[in-house]
Amino acid sequence: MAKWQKFKRKAARGSGSLPYAIDHSAFQVGLHVFADGACEPNPGLGGWGVAVYRDGLEIASDHGGDADTTNNRMELTGLLRGIEAAKALGPPATLWCDSQYAVKGANEWMHNWKKRGWKKPGNEELKNIELWQAIDAALSGADQITIRWCKGHAGIIGNERADELSNIGIASVLGVQVPQEPVDYLTAEYRDLLTE
């Protein structure tokens, strides 16, 4: 099976029965940014994706990839790009990520790493330090951006879209053209308002 077919199948698989109820109405109001990363195998080819929704409609997306990376690096890159998108579109915003590593790192662990000179307890070297430092810098002065965890592959539309985009990021590294319809829900008038 070609590598891209595996990613396509993975992105298209259904979520099956959900283990918990999801209140999708929470994503219908305000600015919600979904970030994800993928790597196949890990380490190996990786991709990241960001999907931005305002009042329930996708207004922007981005993706990219790396030929030699890890899943954690791609999750952090997606988080960083998501923070940058939220700042550009104007907070308040909620940034959703299905990586506990990325969410707990940004919300709980990063402050102590920074106090220790970007070291883990016991003076242990911090992995992905340049990405954590970039995330810290991006969050500086961004008090109205909340980073929250969401369950992956659970039917949350924005998370599923970010996952799809991360797989498209992997495909781009392979040089595979992925047919996708452009998503542009913005009218010319709304686009003008965003750029003012």
Cite the active site residues: 36-37, 75, 98, 153, 163
The Cα–Cα gap between 40 and 23 comes to 31
Q: In terms of DSSP H, where are the helices of the chain? A: 3-12, 71-89, 100-104, 110-115, 129-139, 157-174, 188-195
Instruction: Please tell me whether residue 121 adopts helix, strand or coil conformation.
Output: helix
Q: Residue type at 85?
A: A
The Cα–Cα gap between 165 and 61 comes to 8
Residue pair 130/136 in contact by the 8 Å Cβ criterion: no
Residue pair 96/33 in contact by the 8 Å Cβ criterion: yes
Q: Both tokens of residue 33? A: 């940014």
Residue pair 170/37 in contact by the 8 Å Cβ criterion: no
Of 143, 141, 40, 35, the closest CA to residue 96 belongs to 35
Residue pair 183/62 in contact by the 8 Å Cβ criterion: no
